[in-house]
Each structure stands twice: as C-alpha cells, then as structure tokens.
Amino acid sequence: MIYPWQSAAWQQISSHWQQQAHAWLLHGRQGTGKLVFAQYLAQAMLCEQPQANHQPCGQCASCHLFAQKNHPDYCELQPETADDTSARKLLQIKVDAVRTVLDFAHLSSHRGGRRVVLIYPAESMNLQAANALLKILEEPPPQVTFLLVSHNKDKLLPTIKSRCRALVLPAPAFEEALQFLRQNGRENAADLLAFHGGAPLFDEQPEQDVLRQELLDLLVSPRLLAILDYAGRFDKQKLPLSVLMDWLQKWLTDMSLSQQNMAALYYPSRQNELNNLTQRIRASLIFDLQDKLISLAPYGQHTLSVKMQAESLLIDYLTLWQHKTKE
C-alpha cells in the first residue's frame, strides 16, 4: 500500500514506467511513509502480473515472496537495529554491507526479471560505503534498480545524487495527518503531531513522551535542584543527548515565536505558559542558546557524560532568567 498523500507521486512514476531510471532518490520528510512507498515500488517492479497503473497485484508468486520478505531478487539495506545497549550509538551502513549489495547486483536474476536494491536511509552510509556504492551507480549492471531513500538529501555525496533521478515524496497537510492519526486511534494526536512537525508516522514512545512533558514542566519554572534531578533521570533512560537537544531546541523556537506574538509550532498546548515566560526574557539570550545547541549538534550522539552535558545545557537555560535580573 501507499499512503493517500503519496498518490500523486505514484502517478508520476507510473506515467513514466517505461523510462525507468536505474537509480531513484526518493526523498522527503522523516515520518511521512517514504520507506513504505519505496518497498511498494520495489514490489511493483518485481511483480509478474502488475495492474494497469503498475501497482503490484499482491497475488503472483513474486508478490508472495516479497510479502514473506524472502524475494531472491530484492535486497534491502538498513543500519543495524539498535538494541538497548547501543541506543546511543550513531547507526551507520558500513562498507561491508554495501559490498554484499554489490555482489547481489552482479548476480543474474532468479526469476528472470528485474532486481531491486533499496537503501534506507541512504545518508546513513558512511563515506567508505557511499564510495563503494558510487562505483556501481557509475556502471550499473543491466536490469538492476537502486532505490535510495533519504530524509535529508543534502547529507548525500553530490556524486551519488547526480547518478539518481530524484523524486520528492510529499508530507501530508496538517489536517490530513491529524485525521490519519485519529483514525488510527492515537491519543493526544494534535499535540504529538505538532511535536513531530506534522509528520504522522512517528514511533510510539510513551516513555519519551512522559520524559518530555516533565522537561516542559521544568522549562516553565526552572530550578537548579530540579535540573540536577532531571538530568539524572534523563541519563538513566540511555537516550542520546541529541534527544534532549531536540526537545529543548523546539522549546526555544516556540519561545521565539511567542515573543513575536506567533503561535507555537511544536508545543501548542503550552501556548499560555510560553506567553507568560517569554515576556520576561531577552530575545538575544534565546538566540545565543539556540546557537549553542546548533554548535553542539555534532556531539549529540556521543555516549560520554550525557548527565553532565544535560545539566550544563539546562543550567544555561536557567541563566536566561538570571541575566534578566541583572539588567
């Protein structure tokens, strides 16, 4: 299946079916169903009795093999799934994994048709892996299609991008996404959707949702002891610092918006608290802290001293108020 907001993109591919690219770059916002779309496209390319609009039949031997995740002419590459111990590690697709794809691509087809390689997300390939893939994109074997799926195409090597035909997979409109979540029985749909920037296919993370609400309570009335306590509890969850940085960055964005009398983007249910807070804070200090978060971004996946760094960031936040009192 594909999602309703993807039907125009499907139409676009379907109407040029005979002029298939040997490599597609399917890119768009995270959490909008790009992987599902790409898998459906792969199934369609392998289907032995496709429908009139090139959608897969779901009945043929090839579709059955695909549904069982056992199709000999399909290869899907993702970073290894994180378990609890590695949750803080940056997940990469490494060169060894790409080499197995290259071996696959040079075999002949099992079922006499096309072969499809899907890489998700393509930007998780490290440099060595990307260079290995580039070699094969430059001299593509016949009857092999590469589907590169990316949340952020700017993180891909330009040489790889130039070898692919790019297609934007759109995000749904906010109302459409909200309706989708409600139909799927999500509680707090509006809040969660706002936090996830309007992208409806986020993972359910109830523990993180609770921890985030606690952070927001703390940000509304920051106190040193509560900060130290919170940093300790955050650390125990074994989350990377980047998670806290994301939550805080979004809060600061909403503070800035509130100062300009604009509606909160990420935490709309906190609008009144934001309005009360931001009247007491200088805008330039908020920008300074946002800059600091941006400069720390490369370190967000580091595993060392998360507690200390969380304390440090939240104490920086606390000093927004102290500067105000010194004026």
Which residues of this protein are in contact with Zn ion, per CB under 5 A?
47, 56-57, 60, 63
Q: How far apart are CA 29 and CA 25, in angstroms?
A: 13
Q: How far apart are CA 35 and CA 263, in angstroms?
A: 32
Cβ-contact 317, 309 below 8 angstroms:
no
Cβ-contact 169, 34 below 8 angstroms:
yes
Q: How far apart are CA 239 and CA 302, in angstroms?
A: 10
As given in the structure block, the two tokens for residue 233 are: 């509890």
Residue 74 or residue 251: which is nearer to Zn ion going by CB? 74
As given in the structure block, the two tokens for residue 280 are: 């007491």
Residue 42 or residue 201: which is nearer to Zn ion going by CB? 42
Cβ-contact 24, 148 below 8 angstroms:
yes
Residue 66 or residue 234: which is nearer to Zn ion going by CB? 66
Residue 10 CB, nearest approach to Zn ion (Å): 16
Residue 36 CB, nearest approach to Zn ion (Å): 17
What angle do the packed helices 241-259 and 271-278 form, to 10 degrees?
Answer: 70
Residue 73 CB, nearest approach to Zn ion (Å): 13
Residue 71 CB, nearest approach to Zn ion (Å): 11
Residue 53 CB, nearest approach to Zn ion (Å): 13
* Helix (H), strand (E), coil (C) string for 96-124: HHHHHHHHHHHCCCCCCCCEEEEECCHHH
Residue 192 CB, nearest approach to Zn ion (Å): 36
Residue 46 CB, nearest approach to Zn ion (Å): 8
Residue 71 or residue 151: which is nearer to Zn ion going by CB? 71
Q: How far apart are CA 52 and CA 157, in angstroms?
A: 36
Give the residue from 236, 187, 197 showing the smallest Cα distance to 214. Answer: 236
Residue 68 CB, nearest approach to Zn ion (Å): 13
Cβ-contact 91, 118 below 8 angstroms:
no
Residue 70 or residue 295: which is nearer to Zn ion going by CB? 70
Residues 6+ apart with CB under 8 A from 130: 156, 157, 160
Under DSSP, the state recorded for 62 is H
Residue 47 or residue 199: which is nearer to Zn ion going by CB? 47
